[in-house]
């Protein structure tokens, strides 16, 4: 292993995983600290791990614009159901991939999660701006942002002894949240 790979292996990610639309990519933000475990269990390289990290972010380079058009056309109810379904399905696939040790399945799960997370940000913004006109909008946004940061997958992984539980717990929390 080269020095660069060793340094990368030992580095704990400190980014907040903010995507282009301003949404929190909890998959990438939280899983950065599990890099070594994920690489080991899935038998993947640093480059392949980079594919996982970017699979959420790349989807969200254009998606917020398309999601905005979709929400304006079909409304927040349809947009919310579709986005939440994509998030939940993506997390279930990512969690299943940990049990099957399947890198391709995890990439598909992350892409689906990215499609949903980018869209749900637009839906949530539309709903918040409707309900919190004038006062309260900033505090509502702040509460949401702080809630998304409360869970940590590293503790779950260490407590249970299997890194896959971190994906299952986080996925369940996201499904219940939305």
Please write the tens of the pLDDT for every residue from 64-93.
Answer: 889 999 999 999 999 999 999 999 999 999
Rounded percentage of the chain residues whose pLDDT exceeds 90? 29
- Decide: 22 and 122 in contact? Cβ < 8 Å: no
The verdict on domain 22-177 having CATH code 1.20.1250.20 is yes
Radius of gyration of the chain (CA): 17
Cα distance between residue 113 and residue 123, in whole Å: 15
Q: Summarize pLDDT for 3-26 with one digit per residue, the tens.
A: 444 434 433 332 333 333 344 444
- pLDDT of 39 above 50: yes
pTM above 0.85, yes or no: no
What are residue 15's phi and psi, to 5 degrees? -70, 155
Q: Which residues contact 149 (CB under 8 A, 6 or more apart)?
A: 24
């Amino acid at each position: 292993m080269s020095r660069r790979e060793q340094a990368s292996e030992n580095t704990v990610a400190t980014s907040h995983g903010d995507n282009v639309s301003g949404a929190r990519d909890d998959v990438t933000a939280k899983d950065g600290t599990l890099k070594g475990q994920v690489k080991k269990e899935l038998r993947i390289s640093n480059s392949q791990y980079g594919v996982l990290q970017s699979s959420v972010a790349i989807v969200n380079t254009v998606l917020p614009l398309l999601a905005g058009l979709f929400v304006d056309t079909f409304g927040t109810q349809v947009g919310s159901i579709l986005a939440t379904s994509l998030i939940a399905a993506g997390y279930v696939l990512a969690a299943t991939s940990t049990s099957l040790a399947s890198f391709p399945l995890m990439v598909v799960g992350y892409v689906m999660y990215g499609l949903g997370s980018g869209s749900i940000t637009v839906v949530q913004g539309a709903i918040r701006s409707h309900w919190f006109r004038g006062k309260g909008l900033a505090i509502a946004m702040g509460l949401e942002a702080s809630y998304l940061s409360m869970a940590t997958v590293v503790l779950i992984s260490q407590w249970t002894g299997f890194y896959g539980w971190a994906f299952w717990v986080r996925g369940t929390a996201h499904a219940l949240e939305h």
